[in-house]
Structure 1
C-alpha cells in the first residue's frame, strides 16, 4: 500500500455531526464575551516579546492537487518562541497578565508588562505561585511565563505524559509532579492543591467560577489567527481545526470571524474519537463531559470536558464536527516529514489532527460534497505543534525525521 492510499483511507473518519450554518459578522453577544480588543491587546504585547516572529503559513500545493481542492494552507507552530507549539502563546501570556494583576493588589498598580518581563518586580513576584495540569505543551508555556515573570511554578502531569515533556518543563524551573490517572484527574488534583496552598491555576479549561484566566489564555492563542489575517492572500473558505477542551479552536474561530466577517471560513472541528467532548457538546447543544477510557496518541487533545468559555464561540461559529482514529496520525506526520505535500514540515502528534480530518473527508465523496470542498476551496490547517517530544516523533516518523 502506498503512502497516499494509506492516508486516504475513508475509514479514518469516525463520526460527523452537522451543527448549523454560520453567516454574517461577529455577533454582539460574542463581542461581549470575547471582545476584539482582547485579541488586539494580545498581538500588541506578544509581538513585543524577545524572539517573536510570525510563524510560517505554508501552501501545500502538491497535497491540494492530490485532494482536488484549490489550496491547502498550513500554519506551522513548530518554531513558536523555541517552545515547539502554539501553547507558547496562551499560558505564558495569561501568567503575565496574572502577575500584573497580583502586583496591582500589592500596591503596584502601574506595573507594565514590559517592566515585569525585565525583572523589575522579581523580588516581589517570587512569592507568587502559578500552577496547572498539562499533557506537556501548556505546562511548558506556563513554566516559561513564570520564568519570564519571576514567579514560582508547580506543574501536575498525568501518568501518560512522556519523560521528555516533563524534562522540557523542568528546564524552565518548574516543579513538575506526576500523578496516577488521566488529564482530567490531574486537573482536579491541581485545583485542590492550588486551593490548599493559595496558588493561581493557569488553565485553558474553564468551569463555573473560573472563566477569566482561560479567556486570557484564549486571547494569547488568537495571535496565530491575527498572523493569518496578514499572511493569507485570500480568506480561507474552510478551516479544519483540532479541539481538546476547545479553547484553541474557539480562539481561531473568534479571531478569524472578527477579521474576515462574512468571509470567515467554514470551520470543521476535528478531535480523537477517544476524547470526543466537542462532538458530544454539539449533539447536546451544551458543554459536555465524556469519559476517557484510553489515552489517545494525540496527547494534547486527550480532554474529556468542554471549556465553558470556548463553547459559546464554537456553538455559534462552527458548522461541523468530526472524530478521527489513531491510525491516521502516523501517516499524516510522515506525509509532512517527507515533503510530499509540497513542503517538508515537522508535525507532531496533536499538530496533524486537522490534516488527518481533511484527508479523511477528502476520501469520502458524499461528505466532501456536503462540506463544499472543491477546486475553489482554500483550506486552512493549524499545525499546532512540532516534535515536542523528539523521541516519540522519531519513533513514529522513522528515517524521515530531520
Structure 2
C-alpha cells in the first residue's frame, strides 16, 4: 500500500506491510517423525512489500507484491521459477490472494485509492475481476467450500469473524475480536482462528455450520500468524525462528527451525501446500542487510535511498547516551548539509557484529581525503534504522 487513506481503521490492518518484506520458499521433507526445511530460495526478490503467501496448487504460489507503486497479485511457478501477474488494477491494490475452490480463479481484498475496500474474484488467466461481497469490509478471508466464506471483517476498530453464504447472500457474525489468521484444520470439517476476546489470545477451532468452537492452545501476541501441517502440527513464526505445537501430544510450543543465516528475520506469514512438500514464509529484511543498504547509499551519495533506510523517529546519539537529535527531518537537514559540503566520501566496514536487532560496525571513513576510525551501533525495527550511536576515536 503506497498511498495514504484517510480512514484509519482501513489502513491499520495493513500497516505491517509498510516495511520491506520478502517471500521465501523451502522444500518440506519428512525425516522419520519430523519435518525438515531445505532448499531455501527468495521467490519475491523485490524491493518493498511482498507478503501474504498462499498456494494456488502444489506448484503455484500466490502472494501480494509491490509493482509500480501499488500492490498486485503475483503467481510464482515453483517448477520453472517464473512469476506472472494476475492483477493490474489502476488506482487499487490487492491483498491476501487465495485460491477459490473448484475454479481457475483467485479471491483477494482490493483497497482502492478512494478508500473502498472489498473482496473480489479474479480470473487466474485474464485477471478480470468481479465483486464477491459488496457489503463487507473484509480484511482477511478463507474459503470453507465453493460458496461459504469465513472472513475477518473490519468492525469497531477490530476484526469480527463472519460467515458469508454466496447462495443466499447471508452474513452471520460468529465472534468479535479475532486475529487475521484463518485456516482449515487438516482431516476435519473445522477451521481455526485466533480469538482475542480476552487478554490471553487463543487459537480456537470452529465448525462453520453449527458454530461450535473449542480452544486448541494459546498464542503469544507478538506472533499470531500460523499454518497447519498434515500431521496436525501448527507452525508459527517468532523472530528468526519457527515454533511448533501439536494439540494431540504437546503441552507447549517448541522449536521447529531456527535461522541463523542473517537473512531470515522477524518471520510473520507462513503457508504450506496441500501435500506438505513446499513451505512458504515471509521475512523482514534482516537488520544487517538494512544497515549495509544505508552504507551503500551513503557511498553513492544517493540521498533518497539513504534517507529511506531510517524510521520517522530515528535517534542519532553520541556514545554513550548523548542525544544529538531525533526525527527524520533533523537527520535529512544534517546529512543534506553534509552531502552539500563534501565532495568525496566513503565508509568501509572493517568488522561487524550482530545481536538481535542491533548491528555494530567498525568503520574506516574517508571524507575529502581525511581518514578516521569509528564504530557505529545501529538499532533496527520494522525494516528501518531506529537509532545510530557513534563512537569516535
Larger Rg: 2
Q: Which protein has the bigger strand share? A: 2
Regarding TM over 0.5, the answer is no
Instruction: Give TM class, smaller chain.
Output: under 0.3
TM-score norm. by structure 1 comes to 0.25
Q: Which protein has the bigger helix share? A: 1
Q: Which has the higher contact order (CA 8 A, sep 6+)?
A: 1
TM-score norm. by structure 2 comes to 0.25
